[in-house]
């Protein structure tokens, strides 16, 4: 078997890794009904002192308007890194920073599915676009928190529990975030 052949197989495998919207909703329901518990974590020693993040300037992707937000640059980079991983799994996802006016135009175009309440009282808006394939409308959500993106990635990778600050976290307890970020709903 040639090296080229092996590479082609791996590429194919990667392309087939994404699942349909129906399959993902099915998994969401399965996770919600999962009988999984963690040992009592006890009182976790979260003794880090959150420093005030610096003020960063962002430009609206559509009209170039400048907006400021307090955020760690590492958080912003992590959001982009996570979205790249989501795309590598075969899903159509992107992030765009928009001002409120340009977001309203996007929503009024009718090309997107979103919950308008998700975008209130925030500027700049970090818009997360997600769909399982190009035949669907993008679902639009807003978040400037890299952990929200990380939860979506964990769901798509079917990672049901992980360690965070010496505690075990269950994906089951993050269903609201998955629903809000992706538009996949338990009620569907």
Sole window of 51-59, 75-83, 101-109, 159-167 interacting with Zn ion (rule: CB under 5 A): 101-109
How many CB atoms neighbour CB 127 within 10 A? 23
Contact between 100 and Zn ion per CB under 5 A: no
Contact between 60 and Zn ion per CB under 5 A: yes
For the bound state, the minimum distance from the C-beta of residue 35 to Zn ion, rounded and expressed in Å, comes to: 47
Whole-angstrom Cα distance, residue 52 to residue 120? 23
Do the strands 161-164 and 138-142 form a parallel or antiparallel pair, or are they unpaired?
A: unpaired
| 124 vs 183 by CB, closer to Zn ion | 124
Answer yes or no: are the C-beta atoms of 153 and 82 closer than 8 Å: yes
| 36 vs 63 by CB, closer to Zn ion | 63
**Helix 146-156, helix 73-88: angle, nearest 10:** 20
Contact between 102 and Zn ion per CB under 5 A: yes
Q: Where do contacts with Zn ion occur on this chain (CB under 5 A)?
A: 60, 62-63, 65, 99, 102
């Amino acid at each position: 078997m040639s090296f080229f052949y092996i590479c082609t197989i791996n590429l194919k495998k990667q392309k087939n890794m994404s699942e349909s919207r129906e399959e993902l909703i099915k998994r969401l329901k399965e996770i919600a009904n999962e009988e999984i518990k963690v040992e009592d974590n006890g009182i976790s020693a979260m003794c880090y002192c959150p420093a005030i993040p610096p003020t960063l300037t962002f430009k609206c992707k559509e009209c170039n308007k400048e907006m400021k937000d307090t955020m760690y640059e590492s958080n912003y980079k992590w959001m982009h890194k996570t979205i790249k991983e989501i795309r590598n799994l075969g899903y159509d996802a992107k992030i765009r920073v928009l001002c409120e006016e340009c977001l309203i135009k996007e929503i009024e175009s009718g090309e997107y599915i979103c919950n308008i309440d998700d975008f209130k009282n925030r500027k700049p808006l970090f818009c997360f676009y997600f769909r399982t394939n190009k035949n669907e409308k993008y679902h639009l959500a807003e978040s400037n928190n890299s952990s929200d993106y990380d939860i979506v990635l964990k769901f798509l990778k079917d990672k049901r529990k992980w360690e965070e600050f010496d505690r075990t976290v269950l994906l089951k307890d993050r269903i609201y975030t998955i629903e809000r970020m992706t538009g996949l709903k338990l009620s569907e």
